[in-house]
Amino acid sequence: MHRIAQFASLRLSLLTLFVLLDATTTDSLAETRWPDEQVAGVFHCHADFELDRFEPLWEQMARLQQDLTRELRVPAASEPIHLFLFERKGSYEDYVGLHFPGVPYRRALFIKERGPGMVFAFLNNDFETDVRHESTHALLHASLPVVPLWLDEGLAEYFEIPESERARGNPHLSKVTWAARFGQTPNLAELEQIGSLSKMGATQYRHAWAWVHFMLHGPAEAHDELVSFLAAIQSLSPPGVLSDRLRKRIPDLEERFREHFRNWE
């Protein structure tokens, strides 16, 4: 079940899949004995395979909280986040189906309500990307009461890449750069109207990532507005609409966006 929240006059969406859970659900799942378990920063990993097979990933995960805090200046998560990881797709599907019947199938999931957040994933060619993506959601929602859907997904798309490749190695970069060279700019106001994950297709994910990249690596004013916007949400103050805030600081917003990607190397 998707749970949509409203924050003042701005419609905000809980960015990934939220399920109405009893507060003890996370603890009861985590207390089960798993074949392998370890802690990486705020992440408590539980797996039915040897976690040492992905040691570099857990080192990255231990730093992910620091990355978000540094780039977004959001508070650090004050609660653990539990990762439940499976070697086989079938085991993943059986486990999620048993504990969360009715949840729509996704290759990886972030689930949270009143207790600590939970991430579920299984081994596949995109396993590490899936874990970083869903864990970014988990960190954001451990720090903020709500995040607009497009921004939640844009940030997850940005941080799902290893740190050394985030700025220049994301697969989205090539298409966004070519579009900018041909004078095209993703419509941020349209992204802000999206209230359901079912409306987020490949194009919307790419556009959301592009605006996040612009705010993190473009003009200082854009980064300032992103940080201020998230700070307002964290303090439960009406944040307004991010596109309006950006345009007030950067009147020629679309041109600056295109210039950013045309000149990005």
* pLDDT tens by residue, 162-184: 999 999 999 999 999 999 999 99
The helix-helix angle for 55-72 and 220-234 (nearest 10°) equals 90
pLDDT of residue 23: 38
**Taking 70 as the threshold, does the pLDDT of residue 201 lie above it?**
yes
Q: Give the integer Cα–Cα distance in Å for 171 and 199.
A: 21
What's the CATH code, domain 4-147? 3.40.30.160
All residues at 6 or more sequence positions from 20 whose CB lies less than 8 Å from its CB, including other chains: 1, 3, 113
Confidence band of 105 (pLDDT split at 50, 70, 90)? confident
In 183-252, alpha helices (H) = 188-192, 202-217, 220-234, 242-249
Contact 151, 170 (CB under 8 A): no
**Taking 60 as the threshold, does the pLDDT of residue 5 lie above it?**
no
- Tell the burial category of 223 from Cβ atoms under 10 Å away from its Cβ (0-12, 13-18, 19+): middle
Query: What type of residue sits at position 102?
Result: G
DSSP symbol at 161: S
**Taking 90 as the threshold, does the pLDDT of residue 265 lie above it?**
no
Model confidence pTM above 0.75: yes
pLDDT of residue 13: 32
pLDDT (mean) for 195-200? 92
Instruction: Locate the domains of the chain by residue range.
Output: 4-147, 163-263
**Taking 60 as the threshold, does the pLDDT of residue 61 lie above it?**
yes
Contact 39, 157 (CB under 8 A): no
What average pLDDT is seen over the chain? 89
pLDDT of residue 25: 59
All residues at 6 or more sequence positions from 206 whose CB lies less than 8 Å from its CB, including other chains: 157, 172, 175, 176, 186
pLDDT of residue 27: 62
Within its chain, how far is the Cα of 109 from the centroid? 11
Confidence band of 31 (pLDDT split at 50, 70, 90)? low
pLDDT (mean) for 80-91? 97
Q: Sign of torsion, CA 185 253 132 23?
A: negative
pLDDT (mean) for 214-240? 97
* pLDDT tens by residue, 9-25: 233 333 333 333 343 35
pLDDT of residue 136: 98
Worst-scoring range by mean pLDDT, 31-35, 124-128, 158-162? Answer: 31-35
pLDDT of residue 104: 84
**Taking 80 as the threshold, does the pLDDT of residue 249 lie above it?**
yes
pLDDT of residue 103: 85
All residues at 6 or more sequence positions from 203 whose CB lies less than 8 Å from its CB, including other chains: none
